Amino acid sequence: MVIAVNDLMQLHRPASTPPTSHPVVMEAVGLSVSYGAFRAVRDVDLAIRRREITALIGPSGCGKSTVLRCFNRMNDLVESARVEGRLTYHGIDVYGPDADAGEVRRRIGMVFQKPNPFPKSIYENVAFGARVNGRRSKAELDELVERSLRGAALWDEVKHRLRASALSLSGGQQQRLCIARAIAIEPEVLLMDEPCSALDPVATAYIEDLMHDIKERYAIVVVTHNMQQAARVSDRTAFFTTEVADHGDRRTGVLVEFGRTADVFSKPADERTERYITGRFG
């Protein structure tokens, strides 16, 4: 099957790209990440905007997930990880002295590649963030759980069995539960790391619709290896690739191109982007 780039663009929803740019929430300037002596990705400049979906695409090993995991300091968990350059949230350095990792993660939620609900009830999964981030009354929690589950388009399916184990849900439902759990902490930014890669096409369509519905309220950054998905859901696209690292044997990720999705897919400025997009589909 051959899909021309123009066909690909028809998948895109032009209405979702507004004429004016929304305000920037997060900004990376010259961001580099190393694991020990190995440099995973270098010199990334990105701006994440409110009410937009930003897609990070590129071949595997290009560092797109690594960059995503910088945004909420998940790389802190990796002993050898080192972050250089500047990453700001409303102008505040995310890695600076004024930033607490827990607070960063409370404002910047994350959804993972594989659905990873806690082996607890549906209710407790959604309430978890609120519970660790400060006590709330039962009524507040109930309200929060309902609002979050509605926000993740899961409420109608689970409202009668909130006390059932989250593991009893289907894969797609589990992923929506994880989205509900992430938005329950009321973040401003939502990071999604290949959120559909473990799901079937029907569940994927559900999640994509959901992303489209909730982007009015969040700045969403999504890593995907699925070109059509990037074209379908995102407003801006950052294309990463790898190049031979300083030492030679391992490859470092670099940001090649970052722009409006329509532009990146229809008239890429860099030939590496063009080769990747057409190579995948042509």
Partner 1 sequence: MTAPVSLVGTVGIGRRIRDAAFRGLLYAAVGVALGTLLVLLVDTVNQGRPKIGMDLYRNFPSARPARAGIQSAIYGSLWVVGLTAVMSLPLGVGTAVYLEEYARRDRWYTRLIELNIQNLAAVPSIVYGILGLAFIARGPLGWGPTIRTASLTLTLVVLPTVIISSREALRAVPPSLRQGAVALGATTWQTVWRQVLPGAAPGISTGSILAVSRALGESAPLLLLGGLAFISFNPPAGPAALESPYTVLPIQVFQYATDARQEFHVIAAATIVVLLAMLLLLNGAAIAIRNRYQRKW
Partner 2 sequence: MAPAATTPVVTLRPTGAVRRRQRVEQVVKAGLLGTASVSVLTTVLIVFSLLQPTVEFFREVSVGAFFGGTDWAPNFQPASFGVWPIVGGTLVVTGIAVLVAVPCGLGVAFYLSEYARPRVRRVLKPVLELLAGIPTVVFGFFALTFVNPKLVDRFWPIGDVSTFSALGAGLVMGVMIVPIMTSLSEDAMSAVPESLRQAGVALGATRREVSTKVVFPAALSGIVAATVLAVSRAIGETMIALLAAGNRPNLSANPGEDMQTMTAYIGSTALGDIATQTIQYKTIFAVGALLFAVTFVLNIASARVVRRFRQAYE
Which residue number, 176 or 181, has a Cβ lying nearer to partner 1?
181
Instruction: Point out which residues pair with 92 in neighbouring strands.
Output: 89
Structure tokens at 56: 């990070």
Question: Which one of partner 2, partner 1, none is in contact with 90 (Cβ closer than 5 to 8 A by kind)?
Answer: partner 1
The tokens describing 259, both together, are 């722009």
Q: Do residues 96 and 86 lie in contact, with contact meaning Cβ atoms separated by under 8 Å? A: no
Burial 171-190, CB ≥16 within 10 A → b, else e = ebbbbbbbbbbbbbbbbbbb
| Beta carbons of 253 and 240 less than 8 angstroms apart | yes
126: its two tokens: 């959604």
Residue in the block written with tokens 């595997």: 60
Rule CB under 8 A: say whether 102 interacts with partner 2.
yes
Place of tokens 């004429």: 19
Whose tokens are 């899961």? That residue is 154
**Binding window for partner 2 (CB under 8 A); candidates: 26-34, 38-46, 51-59, 125-133:** 125-133
**How far from the centroid of its chain's Cα atoms is residue 275's Cα?**
24
Q: Which of 134, 138, 139, 160 binds partner 1 (CB under 8 A)?
A: 134
Q: Site map for partner 2, 180-219, x if CB under 8 A?
A: -xx--x----------------------------------
Instruction: Determine, following the binding rule CB under 8 A, whether residue 114 of this chain makes contact with partner 2.
Output: yes
Instruction: Specify which residues 245 forms β-bridges with.
Output: none
Task: Candidates 49, 50, 64, 106: give the one binding partner 2 (CB under 8 A).
Answer: 106
Q: Does 58 bind partner 2 (CB under 8 A)?
A: no
Residue 48 binds what, of partner 2, partner 1, none (CB under 5 to 8 Å, by partner type)? none
Task: Considering only residues 62 through 121, tell me which ones interact with partner 1, judged by CB under 8 A.
Answer: 89-92, 94, 98-100, 102-104, 107
Size of the site for partner 2 (CB under 8 A): 27
Residue 136 engages partner 2 in binding (rule: CB under 8 A) = no
CB 241 within 8 A of CB 220: no
Determine if 41 is a binding residue for partner 2 (CB under 8 A): no
* CA–CA separation, 185 and 230 (whole Å): 26
Shortest distance, position 27 Cβ to partner 1, whole Å: 13
- Tell me which residues touch partner 2 (CB under 8 A): 72, 74, 77, 79, 102-103, 105-106, 109-110, 112, 114, 116-120, 128-129, 131-133, 167, 178, 181-182, 185
